[in-house]
Amino acid sequence: MADKIKLDIVSAEEEIFSQDVEMVYAPAEMGEVGISPKHTPLITKLKPGDVRAQINKDEMKTFYVSGGILEIQPNEVTILSDTALREDDLDEERALEAEKLAQEAMKNSANEVDATKAKSELLQAAAQLRLIKKLRSNSKK
Amino acid sequence: MSGSQEIRSQIASIQNTQKITKAMEMVAASKMKKAQDQMIKARPYADKISNVISHLAHAHPEYTSEFFATREVKKKGYIIISSDRGLCGGLNNNLFKLVVETIEEDNKSDIKPAFSLIGSKASSFFQRMGGDVMAQTAQLGDKPQIEQVLGLIKSTIDSFISGEIDQVYLVYNKFLNTVSQEPTLQKVLPIQAEDKDDNYDHYWDYLYEPDAETVLESLFTRYIESLVYRGLVENLACEQASRMVAMKAASDNATDLTAELQLIYNKNRQAAITQEISEIISGAAAL
């Protein structure tokens, strides 16, 4: 079995990929780098582009990163990605995002209505409570 | 019988309010779950980046950057993370109290505060209190993205580097569990290098491309960002948890109140009936 290197791709919002791979290609700022196991420690910035992971001879996975930091240790590669989405999901994700935004806008407005309603009911209840107290103290006299 | 009509509408009104508080409780419970998921998802990045930083501190212990600059403290910066909405118990107030206490303590040694505010509750509180507000942002919604706070973080870091402020603290609620949240004050700048790990016994250093300064600067910026983002999602989980608990208490109180009013109502009605009967009887006896 060929040597492998551990690849972790993480973005601030979630973990994207974590697996042992044979080779990693990443778009470093000074040009694309290919990383095999036992690479010397290196730290560099990434520019927007594709990160390719050779999982085994037949399988290659591609991820899009819009920038970030690449850290290499002899037996592990860490990509701190700014926004990395899986290739397949890229377009779908964007579409979903747009939909979600619209939904969220609606949800927010609904929440605001609820809050105003709750507030006005609260005020009403307090007014009624005061009235009851007044009535009670009057009847005691 | 005028009183009993009042009580009846009172009961109806309390029950209406209870419906709302119950609904809010359930909404908060489901949102809390989502916020917790987000919190867990953000963890790998934070772990990785602090790993890299501790590697770095070990590999390059003599490295000095503006991010490590310790100066005499004249002005402290606070990044304060609060919720956008209310009705979540004492969550925000406990947090603000912690900040105000710290500021009062600092006042004695003539240290001035400056604020970067996240969330509309913090904006309104600290604007009212007065003080130097460096940046603010609000309305981040239920699924905050890191992009939404990047501007705020950048302006805070810039003020630190330019020497306008000498320390930066992050203030947020730490999520312990559903029923307990802990207001937390965490120092983020200057970055404190962690203690050396004994596992490394030979000297090595990274290769830097293009050069150490640019790489490290962007690394440290991202480190601060990840800290703030973590605070943001933790605070969100806290907000939902706290709202859930507050709304549960409100619903329970409404139940108690309804029961009490029902009792008064029943007693009133019984008294009225008894009175009526005794009037009839005494009327009949008079005949």
Residue B186 lies in a domain: yes
Would you list the domain boundaries of chain A? 5-87, 88-141
- Give the residue numbers spanning the domain of B151: 27-244
| Interface residue B150 vs chain A (CB under 8 A) | no
What one-character-per-residue DSSP string does A58-106 give? TEEEEEEESSEEEEEETTEEEEEESSEEETTHHHHHHHHHHHHHHHHHH
Domain assignment present for B53: yes
Evaluate the omega torsion of the peptide bond into residue B210 and state whether it is cis, within 30 degrees of 0. Answer: yes
Q: Does any CB of chain B come closer than 8 Å to the CB of residue A136?
A: yes
Alpha-carbon gap, residue B112 to B104, rounded angstroms: 10
Q: In 10 A of CB B115, how many CB atoms? A: 25
* Cα–Cα distance for residue pair A40/A28, rounded to 1 Å: 15
Partner B contacted by A93 (CB < 8 A): no
Q: What domain count does chain B have?
A: 1
pTM: 0.76
d(CA A128, nearest CA chain B) in Å = 7
Residue B283 falls within a domain, yes or no? no
Do B91 and B239 form a contact (C-beta atoms < 8 A)?
yes
CA dist., res. B169 & res. B101, Å (int): 14
Q: Is the pLDDT of residue B33 over 70?
A: yes
Percent share of chain B, pLDDT over 70: 93
Choose the mutation target among B63, B149, B154, B218 for the interface with A, i.e. most A CBs under 10 Å: B218
Q: What CATH number is attached to the domain comprising B183?
A: 3.40.1380.10
pLDDT (tens digit per residue) in B132-167 = 777 777 788 888 877 777 778 888 888 888 888 899
B8 versus A140: which is more confidently predicted?
Answer: B8
**Is the pLDDT confidence value at A89 over 90?**
no
Q: pLDDT by residue (tens digit) across B179-208?
A: 888 999 988 888 876 655 555 556 677 888
Tens-digit pLDDT profile for residues A97-114: 444 544 454 445 445 555
3-class SS of residue A52: strand
CA distance A89 to chain B (A): 18
Q: What is the ipTM of this complex?
A: 0.71
Per CATH, the number for A5-87 is: 2.60.15.10
Cβ within 8 Å of residue B71, ≥6 positions away = B163, B166
Query: What pLDDT digit, counting tens, does each position of A37-62 carry?
Result: 988 888 898 888 888 999 888 888 88
